[in-house]
Copies of this chain bind each other. A is one copy, B any other.
Amino acid sequence: MIKECFKNVRKNCPLVHNITNYVTVNDVANMILACGGSPIMSDDINEVEEITGICGGLNINIGTLNQQTILAMKQAAKKAKQLHKITLLDPVGVGASKLRTNTALELINSIHFDVIKGNASEINALIMGSQKTRGVDACKEDIPTEDQLDFVIIRMKEYAKQTGSIIVMTGEIDLIANENRCYVVRNGEKEMQSITGTGCQLAGLMSAFLIANSDHLMEAALSAVCLMGHAGEQALLNMQPSDGNATYRNRIIDAVYHMTPDELERGARYEIR
């Protein structure tokens, strides 16, 4: 299934409309190209509806939101649903400010997102109304241990039921839940946390997978998470002793570029709960 999802991306070259932050946007674009998609970035209220209209889906990332782009996000998301396009929300830093929390909640309450993806602190902030978020990186106390996993999964399934969205929580263990089941993914490397924007890149990648596999969204989301993680593993094998986080960033995108559907299928490590 994972193999087929990836093949569909490579075959269909899904066009992804990204309203995203200016910190990691270049890596997001190169990551979408690496997996076989085509990115377009556009955030002015006077064109976002048209851009969403020509794309297969919309990836909203609130990492450097501002008053203008918030309006554009809302308008584009509304249009995307009218046109039955894929919608993904990456609520970067939600909980760190009222503006982020309110924007994320207003979007979620007014628009149905196919996927809501965040780190442990961000997903907790959405579910619990927690305000503990430490900037854009997850707080250690939010990251579930193996013992807490079952409890976290139950809560994610409940939130998935409530929102009708697939909920993706990224971290050392990645979780992908709808109301019925949860994929538990154990791909990836801890060194990926030293790179800015691996989460943003995953959101772009996942949008391409969702668009190209709109009848199998859970499997598409799973495949994207496994691809990002397995690319991180492959990239680490290619690191020279003097390579650090900047080069690792490039090597992960390179690894996605070279990954074959068969390799991904073999490398994916997940279970269903």
Are A33 and B254 touching (Cβ within 8 A)? Answer: no
CA–CA, A98 to B42, complex, Å? Answer: 13
Which chain B residue has the least Cβ–Cβ distance from A46? B99
Closest beta carbon of chain B to A79's beta carbon, Å: 12
A129 at the interface (CB under 8 A from B): no
CA–CA, A137 to B24, complex, Å? Answer: 20
Chain A interface size, as a band, is 35 or more
CA–CA, A100 to B51, complex, Å? Answer: 10
CA–CA, A45 to B195, complex, Å? Answer: 27
A151 at the interface (CB under 8 A from B): no
**Chain B residues whose C-beta falls within 8 Å of the C-beta of A66 in the assembled complex:** 43-44, 68
Closest beta carbon of chain B to A16's beta carbon, Å: 9
| Interface 0/1 of A239-259, CB less than 8 Å to B | 000111111011111111110
A25 at the interface (CB under 8 A from B): yes
The number of times this chain is found in the oligomer is: 3
CA–CA, A43 to B195, complex, Å? Answer: 21
A39 at the interface (CB under 8 A from B): yes
A9 at the interface (CB under 8 A from B): no
A262 at the interface (CB under 8 A from B): no
* Contacts known (A47-B100, A64-B42, A98-B47); A33 close to B249, Cβ less than 8 A: no
| Interface 0/1 of A188-214, CB less than 8 Å to B | 000000111100000000000000000
Which chain B residue has the least Cβ–Cβ distance from A45? B67
The one of B134, B137, B246 that contacts A249, using a Cβ cutoff of 8 Å = B246
Are B251 and A255 touching (Cβ within 8 A)? Answer: no
CA–CA, A261 to B121, complex, Å? Answer: 31
CA–CA, A66 to B249, complex, Å? Answer: 29
Residue from A23, A38, A64, A238 with most neighbouring chain B CB atoms (10 Å): A23
A158 at the interface (CB under 8 A from B): no
Are B34 and A29 touching (Cβ within 8 A)? Answer: no
Are A135 and B244 touching (Cβ within 8 A)? Answer: no
Are B97 and A50 touching (Cβ within 8 A)? Answer: yes
CA–CA, A195 to B32, complex, Å? Answer: 10
Which chain B residue has the least Cβ–Cβ distance from A39? B196
A65 at the interface (CB under 8 A from B): yes
A40 at the interface (CB under 8 A from B): yes
